[in-house]
A and B are shown apart, each in its own frame.
Chain A
Amino acid sequence: GAGVSQSPSNKVTEKGKDVELRCDPISGHTALYWYRQSLGQGLEFLIYFQGNSAPDKSGLPSDRFSAERTGGSVSTLTIQRTQQEDSAVYLCASSPNAGEETQYFGPGTRLLVL
């Protein structure tokens, strides 16, 4: 079946601009996660959605970052007033439920802020 999809696959933007990154989770998966991976680094948790519960935003690095999940499916991660240090690969993952279920990752969006 279809896996997690993300768009765009690559995004180049200028410092100070806003960007929106999209994630389509696997159909039926109730849990959705956003991570960030900087060059040569591990994955950094950003935010987590589970069903209709309030999201866990504890990993968002600043108030310039926000995310929404509409209708329990598609999610959008928004970065306002981008900075060069925001350059990274943004990965989305989904799992059937929260807790101990394994997570399935999308291909990521490579963001470069000039």
Chain B
Amino acid sequence: RKEVEQDPGPFNVPEGATVAFNCTYSNSASQSFFWYRQDCRKEPKLLMSVYSSGNEDGRFTAQLNRASQYISLLIRDSKLSDSATYLCAVNLDYKLSFGAGTTVTVRA
């Protein structure tokens, strides 16, 4: 079983829609959690950290469910510029394990 698993998608959504997807992790001792955004042929860039209480950054909401070992990302009012691959990352003992990414395509 992979340490971090994501639905690869793609999620094709119209502008203005809400899209949400999850990421599961296998090691219950994992310490911290992140969502990264990766555009085609670019490096990953940190989108947001994920806190136990859940957190919001503009149109983006991240949540952590330790009991079920998953994190989620919700994007409201999708923009064309949100089209990207979203990687979840899980930190255990200073090493990040990444999922393979969820591709989101927002269409006009």
A residues at B contact (CB < 8 Å): 31, 33, 35, 40-43, 45, 48, 50, 56, 59, 91, 98-100, 102-108
Which residues of A lie under 8 Å from residue B99 when comparing CB positions? 42
Asked whether B100 lies within 8 Å of A106 as measured between CB atoms, the reply is: no
Question: In the complex, which residues of chain A have a beta carbon less than 8 angstroms from the beta carbon of B46?
Answer: 102-104
B61 interfacial contact with A, CB 8 Å: no
Q: How many residues of B contact A (CB 8 A)?
A: 20
Chain A CB count within 10 A is highest, among B43, B49, B94, B98, for: B43
Interface of B is mostly: strand
B31 CB-CB contact with A under 8 Å: yes
B87:A42 contact, CB within 8 angstroms = yes
Q: Is the CB of A45 within 8 A of B95?
A: yes
Chain A residues lying within 8 Å of B31, measured Cβ to Cβ, are 99-100
B98 and A42: CB pair below 8 A?
A: yes
Residues of B17-57 at the interface with A, using a CB-CB cut-off of 8 Å, are: 31-32, 34, 42-46, 49
